[in-house]
Amino acid sequence: MPTVRDTTYDLLRAWGLTTVFGNPGSNELPFLDGFPADFRYVLGLHEGAVLAMADGYAQATGRPALVNLHSAAGLGNAMGNLANARASNTPLVVTAGQQARAMIGLGSVLAEPAMTRVPEPHVKWAFEPARAQDVPRALSEAFHLAVLPPAGPVFVSLPLDDWAREVDVDEVAHLGARRVRAAGAATPELVAELAGRLARAQAPALVVGPEVDDERAFATVVALAERLAVPVWTAPTPPRCPFPTRHPLWRGVLPPSIAGVAEHLTGHDLVLVLGAPVFRYHAYRPGPWLPAGAELVAVSADPASAARAAFGDALVADVAAVAAQLLDALPGTPGRPAPAPIERPAEGEPGDAPFRAGGVFALMARTLPRGVRMVNESTSNTSQFWEHLDLAGPRGLFFPAAGGLGFGLPAAVGVALADPGRPVVAVLGDGAVQYGVAGLWTAAQWNLPITFVVLRNGTYGALRGFVDQLGVTGTPGLDLPGVDAVRIAEGYGLPARRIADGAELAAELAAVAPDRGPRLVELPILGETRRLG
């Protein structure tokens, strides 16, 4: 009879999970014994980097990724980026090796009787099979749960002595062929009701979120916005980019505060939110939820976010399906003039360093080749980044959705592994780099087309922005003297340089290409703070 290991690898092939992201320990070695030639193992030097690499890979491909961590301690190392994956609704099958079953209850090294509690609350489901023969079925459940809306990470604890056990063929015969799918269209009555509200509205607006960031939803929502001729905002604190940023209807990103959202939506009587929670605030600036006279309807596949909202109506359904239904139900253009495109800040060519962040991002928009994928973890100048961003399609931008640093650098590795034919530019703060720096080694080992752009302002700039806002003074721990990202990158085997003027920067950005290996450039930038929200 086949073993648990043989059966598991057959299932992973059937599901397309032949890339394993991991950092192995003794508990995981029996799973990796005789590692199949048709699989690839992506080694990360820290479990946090491993999780973020898998997160970036899954977001870029739109398919689940498999993560193999080491015991409870390794799982704990990955928790910060697991929070980002949960907030991004990234479908991950996260596993960790458990001690041999006979050792679990003895307080043994690398044993954790409560292993399934370690990743809570950042997984949809956590399970440890009651017997070895249950491992394949448990992994099947994990795979399907990770993908079903709302997608997200799941966790399975795997005792090390389960892998060599035999499995009854009849028990696992149908697991690889199963399909579990969600059907999320709205009823005709609901579509007619929503279409009627949109048709009657005098000044509707759209707010779009991360559920729109796939090919089908992206194209359908753009078509709906054009049919309605309405302004479109991106929801606050977005982990991805769900609308073309140079489209004349796009208005930018809503601020992450209660009052800020209401101020930006002033003048609109109906707000249709597609694929976003209502809303993910950050800065506490209270006020009315919506401007006077405005109503809100949200469409999302996430029942928890629909129930949690403090205002507005909600429809739990597939966003792409509902948008397509609305396109069919609505008449032609409403006759209202389309809003004028937003004005973007004018930025000249960057001169000598230190640079202004806006000038750097404007140069990126002018210089980078089309099709580049962007990762952003420079949190002190996110607003300048969005002002100049030029993305025309889905799955082109990746951002730490929970706000946890350490996602950006290794996530860029996963994004590049997903499609090495598309170069990646990772924009990172000098503080953020330190949280995921181990990912540089993996980028070098796989010779991935990534340009790591480190914006060095010598401080935790995002926190500087909160100092005045929160009315605090004399705060320690905000400065970062003596950090040299160039020398660090060289130690991991990457070419690296410090940019001194705009011409050097323009040349570096123009050289970004699929056949160019990883490199790091450090840009001294001016410390700029903007009020959040």
Q: Alpha-carbon distance 440 to 1, whole Å?
A: 43
Tokens encoding 169: 């063929």
Q: Residue 126's pLDDT is what?
A: 98
How many angstroms separate the CA atoms of 376 and 83, rounded? 17
How high is the pLDDT of residue 457?
Answer: 83
Asked whether the beta carbons of 42 and 20 are under 8 A apart, the reply is: yes
Residue 378 confidence class, pLDDT cut points 50, 70, 90: very high
pLDDT value, residue 380: 85
Q: List Cβ neighbours of 189 (8 Å cut-off, separation of 6 or more).
A: none
* Amino acid, single-letter form, for residue 264: H
Q: What is the pLDDT of residue 463?
A: 59
- Alpha carbon dihedral 87, 283, 386, 462, in 10-degree steps, equals -100
Question: Residues of 161-171 as b/e, b for ≥16 C-beta within 10 angstroms?
Answer: bbbeeebeeee
pLDDT tens readout for residues 425-456: 999 999 999 999 999 999 999 999 999 999 99
What pLDDT band is residue 281 in, cutting at 50, 70 and 90?
very high
pLDDT beyond 80 at 339:
yes
Helix (H), strand (E) at residue 506: helix 502-510
pLDDT value at residue 531: 67
Amino acid at 172: V
pLDDT value for 292: 96
Has residue 462 got a pLDDT over 90?
Answer: no
Distances (CA, A) of 117 to 54, 148, 442: 21, 22, 30
pLDDT in the model for residue 446: 98
pLDDT at 333: 72
Confidence of residue 459 (pLDDT cuts 50, 70, 90): low
Q: For residue 62, is pLDDT > 90?
A: yes
pLDDT at position 337 is 82
Grade residue 65 by pLDDT with cuts at 50, 70 and 90.
very high
- Cα–Cα dist 461/528, whole Å: 8
In this predicted model, what pLDDT tens digit does every residue of 487-529 receive, in sequence order? 999 999 999 999 999 999 999 999 999 999 999 999 999 877 6
Report the alpha-carbon distance of residue 440 to residue 406 in Å, rounded. Answer: 12
Contact (CB, 8 A) for 330 and 227: yes
At residue 303, the pLDDT reads 95
- Give pLDDT, residue 183: 86
- Give the pLDDT confidence score for residue 155 in this predicted structure: 98
Q: Which residue has the tokens 């100049």?
A: 388
Q: Please, what's the largest Cα pairwise distance for the chain?
A: 74
% residues pLDDT > 70 (the chain): 96
Could you check whether the bond before residue 155 is cis, i.e. omega within 30 degrees of 0? no
* Active-site annotation, residues: 25-26, 28, 47, 70, 282, 403
Radius of gyration of the chain (CA): 24
Bridge-based pairing of strands 250-253 and 232-234 is parallel
Average pLDDT over residues 333-339: 79
Which of the four pLDDT bands, split at 50, 70 and 90, describes residue 466?
low
Q: Which pTM was predicted?
A: 0.95
Classify the C-alpha dihedral 123-124-129-132 as positive or negative.
negative
pLDDT at 471 over 80: no
What does the alpha-carbon distance between residue 334 and residue 326 come to, in Å, rounded to a whole number? 14
Per-residue pLDDT of 150-193, as tens digits, reads 999 999 999 999 999 999 999 999 999 999 989 889 999 999 99
Q: What's the full length of the chain, in residues? A: 533
Q: Is 217 helix (H, G, I), strand (E, B) or coil?
A: helix
Cα dihedral 227→232→237→239 (10° resolution)? 40
For residues 145 and 93, give the distance between their C-alpha atoms in angstroms, rounded to a whole number. Answer: 9
| 215-254 per-position pLDDT tens digit | 999 999 999 999 999 999 999 988 888 999 999 999 999 9
